[in-house]
Amino acid sequence: MKHPSELHVRSPFLFRSMAIGFALCMLAAGALGVYVLWTEIVPLYGRLYRNAPVVETPLKSFFVLAGIALTPLMIVACAIAAWTGQKFDPPKTSWLYGFQLRSLQLTLVMMACLAPAMIALTTATLSAKGYWSCPKLRISGSGWQMFWVNDERVCFTPDFYINDHWPCKRVGKKDICIQVDGR
Residue 165 lies in a domain: no
Specify the pTM.
Answer: 0.78
The verdict on residue 155 lying in a domain is: no
Q: Is residue 182 part of a domain?
A: no
**Count of domains for the chain:** 1
pLDDT digits (tens, 9 = 90+) for 56-82: 888 889 999 888 999 999 999 999 999
Domain contains 50: yes
**Which segments of the chain have a pLDDT < 50?**
none
Q: What is the 3-state secondary structure (H, E, C) of the chain?
A: CCCHHHHCCCCHHHHHHHHHHHHHHHHHHHHHHHHHHHHHHHHHHHHHHCCCCEEEEEHHHHHHCHHHHHHHHHHHHHHHHHHHCCCCCCCCCCHHHHHHHHHHHHHHHHHHHHHHHHHHHHHHHHHHCCCEECHHHCCCCCCCEEEEECCHHHCCCCCEEECCCEEEEEECCEEEECCCCCC
Has residue 151 been placed in a domain? no
pLDDT at 54 (0 to 100)? 87
Range of the domain at 123: 4-129
Q: How many angstroms separate the CA atoms of 55 and 35, rounded?
A: 19
Percent pLDDT > 70 in the chain is: 91
pLDDT tens-digit series, residues 30-63:
999 999 999 989 999 999 998 888 888 888 899 9
In a domain, 157, yes or no: no
In a domain, 13, yes or no: yes
- Please check whether residue 176 lies inside any domain of the structure: no
